[in-house]
Amino acid sequence: MPKSKYVLAISALLLLGVVPAQGALKVVKIYDGDTVTMADGMKIRLLQIDAPELGENECFAKESKAALVNLLAKKGTVTLKADPASASYDRYGRALRYIFVGKLNVNLEMVKIGAAAPYFYQGEKGIYSAAMLKAAQAAKFYKVGLWKTCPGTQLVPTKAITTYKAVGTPVPSPISTTVTAPIPSTGCDPNYAACIPLFPPDLDCGDIKALGLAPVTVIGKDPHKLDGDGDGKACTS
C-alpha cells in the first residue's frame, strides 16, 4: 500500500476509535477516555483513573477520548498490568488494568495531560496513586486539559469525576489571601504537616482517611476545616 493511502487509512481508524495492532496485545476499540476493548474481546477499564462520560455529554469527554486514541497510537508494545491493591475485574466484568505502550504508563499520562483524573475507588491506593495525585494537582494548578476547559470541576480522588462547563455552573471559591500560597512542585497544602491535597476542592475527614493521610496536624490555617475544636489535631477518630 502506498504511504499516503496507509496514512489516510490509519487516520480513518483513529477517528473511529480503533487503534492499529501493535505487539502481542492489540487495542481494537476505544469507547471513551478510560475504556477500551482488546483484540481477544477483553474489555479493559483503565485502572485508578476516571474520564468524562461521553454518554452524558460531560465537558471534555470528546477531547479525553481523542487523547487516549493518540496515546495508544504511539509506537511500542502494548502491555497490561494489574494492581494488587485492586480487584482484577469490576462489577461489569471489565478487566481493571494499567495499559503501557512501551514504557509509557497510559493511565498516568492521561492524568498528566488533564484528560482524566485519579479515581481511588473505595479508597484503594494503587502502586501509582501517589504519582497520579501529584500529576493531577499539577495539571489542575497549571490549568491543563479539562482543568482549563471545565473550571468548575473538583479534584476529589475518592470520587468519580464530574466535569462542569464554565457557563451556568458554580466555580469553587478562590483561596483566601490568608492561606499560604500553594507549592506547585509538591502539590501539598503547606497549612498541614502531612501532604494534604491543595484547597480547593474542600475535603472532609472521610476523604482524608480514604487517602490514608489521617490523622492530620494543622500547622497554619485550616482551609479544609478539618480541625473542628482548634487543637491542631484533626481526623483522629
CATH number reported for the structural domain that contains residue 83 in this entry: 2.40.50.90
Q: Does one domain contain both 98 and 113?
A: yes
Burial class (CB in 10 A: 0-12, 13-18, 19+), 84: exposed
User: What pLDDT does residue 63 have?
Assistant: 96
* 161 has a pLDDT exceeding 80: yes
Average pLDDT (109-113) is 97
Q: Does one domain contain both 84 and 148?
A: yes
In this prediction the pTM is 0.64
Average pLDDT (168-186) is 40
Q: How far apart are CA 2 and CA 15, in angstroms?
A: 20
User: What pLDDT does residue 103 have?
Assistant: 96
Indicate the number of domains in the chain.
2
Q: Does one domain contain both 116 and 193?
A: no
Domain that holds residue 227: 172-232
Q: Does one domain contain both 36 and 77?
A: yes
What percent of the chain is predicted at pLDDT more than 70? Answer: 79
Is 237 a member of any domain?
no
* 61 has a pLDDT exceeding 80: yes
How would you classify the pairing of strands 35-38 and 27-30? antiparallel
Q: What is the pLDDT of residues 202-231, one digit of tens each?
A: 778 877 776 777 888 888 888 888 888 888
